[in-house]
Amino acid sequence: MRISNFIGGEWASTAEYISSVNPSTGEPYLEVPRSGENEVAAAVQAAKSAFPAWRSLRAEERADILDRIADGIDARLSEFAQMESDDQGKPVSLATSLDIPRAALNFRFFAGAIRHELSHAAPIDARTFSYVRREPIGVAGLISPWNLPLYLLTWKIAPALAYGNTCVAKPSEWTSGTAWLLAKVMKEAGLPAGVCNLVFGYGHEAGQALVEHEDVPLISFTGGTVTGRKIAETAAPRLKKLSLELGGKNPTIVFKDALEMFSVQELAKNVARSAFLNQGEICLCGSRLYVEETFYDEFSEALVREVKALTVGDPRDASSFMGPLVSSEHLAKVSSYIQHAKDTGLKILCGGERPTALPSSTGRDLSKGYFVQPTIVADVPESSRLQKEEVFGPVVTLSRFKSEDEVVALANSTRYGLSASLWTNSLSRAHGMAARLEAGTVWINGWMIRDLRMPFGGVKDSGLGREGQMDSLHFFTEPKTVCVRFGRQEK
């Protein structure tokens, strides 16, 4: 199947196409436009032309259209979920329960937010007051990664449009399918032509051209730290507004007193899920597991049992917890970390291989798919690449700690600071540690519980800026202070 760019409300072809592979079978599956400067220029021009009318709509009018887009996503839930799975490798069940509903929620959430938004005013004296107008900025450049394709793309498109901007979005060329389906939904929902444009292609071509374009004053990017740094280097001299949501190497910390609330098996189940959901390809996955020493043996035994029971298999099967990794390149990267563990004599508690027998009720040949077993490596030296670098796959480390001070220091010892999760029944410990952990989000006795009103983002090399209700408002608008004096000033 061949997909097209979506520019000015129309489908637009390109001279060249990129072959995108279904990671379950290793077979070519989608032909994705290979866009460059010309396509990006056309898309930016369309967005620029659509901006004056779109920004002039009342908030309720924009909100109604966003709600219709959300309804359109819901109506095509199974089509979206199937495509997300075929593109990315994630189980269809996960796309159905998490990715696609969240994409619809992103539109509904910001539709609700703009319906209820207030601006502030400050009376100065009886005849003078100031008020603030929050104004859209113009054409937003939105660049998203392959791990949660529609979920993250719509987390940018929805606030950009809600607050009155128009946009040009560039998804990852590995996972462009659902963005193309979204364009159909946006057309059906009556989104005016040019308000949202999609340009597919490589990051170093289409993505780079978008960041460089002089008529794109703001860039919202989610992806790896190396790419984020490059984008910052391009955007900074052009004085563009920039939001960077980057990588993570997140600690999961388990104290023995968590047993006062959970059984060891429940704890192991939760930790396994937070480590391996979506094949470990979520920036928030806990990839460094620290367990209190007095509880280590009992917990590690339960964890290994739990992880060995996770089904790696056909993402179309409801019983599969993990599908394949997204691409052969990513498989090579993840495998290199497993090989490093073997080469340096580290203890692999489970996994460490590619599965040989893959369950599939569909009868598909999965032998060329990019599957890897969920892998736990124990007692890894803190200096190891495995403790410091983002693997972004189903490979985690398991270590022990003796005290709060020690584990805080270990947790904070990477250059990343996206999230942390903490399992304990002690209220004072929970809040004390939440204050000391270097992370944009700290979960206590949970993981990936998202409230879209809350700020989301990372510290250190995990990013710059925040997204979320007020944070997205601040990013996608500029405040203008208007000071009014009516009548002549009394002497």
Binding string to ligand NDP for residues 413 to 452, with x set by CB under 6 A, is what?
-----x----------------------------------
Asked whether the beta carbons of 67 and 109 are under 8 A apart, the reply is no
Q: Of the two residues 168 and 264, which places its CB atom closer to ligand NDP in the complex?
A: 168
Q: Pick the piece of the chain touching ligand NDP (CB under 6 A) from 202-210, 288-296, 346-354, 373-381.
A: 202-210
Q: Pick the piece of the chain touching ligand NDP (CB under 6 A) from 90-98, 117-125, 239-247, 265-273.
A: 239-247
249 contributes a contact to ligand NDP by CB under 6 A: no
Shortest spacing between CB 391 and ligand NDP, in angstroms: 10
Binding string to ligand NDP for residues 91 to 120, with x set by CB under 6 A, is what?
------------------------------
Give the burial string for 149-185 (b: 16+ CB within 10 Å, else e): bbbbbbbbbbbbbbbbbbbbbbbbbbbbbbbbbbbeb
321 closest CA partner among 342, 307, 341, 339 = 307
Shortest spacing between CB 374 and ligand NDP, in angstroms: 18
Shortest spacing between CB 46 and ligand NDP, in angstroms: 19
3 contributes a contact to ligand NDP by CB under 6 A: no
390 contributes a contact to ligand NDP by CB under 6 A: yes
Q: ∠ at Cα 37 (35, 40), nearest 5°?
A: 70
Q: How many residues bind ligand NDP (CB under 6 A)?
A: 33
Shortest spacing between CB 112 and ligand NDP, in angstroms: 22
Q: Of the two residues 86 and 281, which places its CB atom closer to ligand NDP in the complex?
A: 281
Shortest spacing between CB 285 and ligand NDP, in angstroms: 9
Q: Of the two residues 146 and 163, which places its CB atom closer to ligand NDP in the complex?
A: 146
230 contributes a contact to ligand NDP by CB under 6 A: yes
Q: Of 167, 196, 283, 285, which residue is the catalytic one?
A: 283
Candidate list 224, 348, 368, 413; residue touching ligand NDP; CB under 6 A? 224
202 contributes a contact to ligand NDP by CB under 6 A: yes
Q: What is the 3-state secondary structure (H, E, C) of the chain?
A: CECCEEECCEEECCCCEEEEEECCCCEEEEEEECCCHHHHHHHHHHHHHHHHHHHHCCHHHHHHHHHHHHHHHHHCHHHHHHHHHHHHCCCHHHHHHHHHHHHHHHHHHHHHHHHCCCCCEEEEECCEEEEEEEEECCEEEEECCCCCHHHHHHHHHHHHHHCCCEEEEECCCCCCHHHHHHHHHHHHCCCCCCCEEECCCCHHHHHHHHHHCCCCCEEEEECCHHHHHHHHHHHHHHCCEEEEECCCCEEEEECHHHHHCCCHHHHHHHHHHHHHHHHHCCCCCEEEEEEEHHHHHHHHHHHHHHHHCCCECCCCCCCCCECCCCCHHHHHHHHHHHHHHHHCCCEEEECCCCCCCCCCCCCCCCCCCCCCCCEEEECCCCCCHHHHCCCCCCEEEEEEECCHHHHHHHHCCCCCCCEEEEECCCHHHHHHHHHHCCCCEEEECCCCCCCCCCCECCCHHHEECCECHHHHHHHHEEEEEEEEECCCCCC
Q: Of the two residues 181 and 211, which places its CB atom closer to ligand NDP in the complex?
A: 211
200 contributes a contact to ligand NDP by CB under 6 A: no
Q: Which residue has its beta carbon closest to ligand NDP? A: 203
455 contributes a contact to ligand NDP by CB under 6 A: no
Q: Of the two residues 86 and 390, which places its CB atom closer to ligand NDP in the complex?
A: 390
Q: Of 245, 281, 306, 467, which residue is the catalytic one?
A: 245
283 classed as catalytic: yes
Shortest spacing between CB 29 and ligand NDP, in angstroms: 16
Binding string to ligand NDP for residues 65 to 84, with x set by CB under 6 A, is what?
--------------------
353 classed as catalytic: no
283 contributes a contact to ligand NDP by CB under 6 A: yes
129 contributes a contact to ligand NDP by CB under 6 A: no
Shortest spacing between CB 320 and ligand NDP, in angstroms: 22
Binding string to ligand NDP for residues 401 to 420, with x set by CB under 6 A, is what?
-----------------x--
Residues involved in catalysis:
245, 283
Contact positions vs ligand NDP (CB under 6 A): 143-147, 152, 170-174, 202-204, 207-208, 211, 222-224, 227, 230-231, 245-248, 283, 390, 392, 418, 458, 463
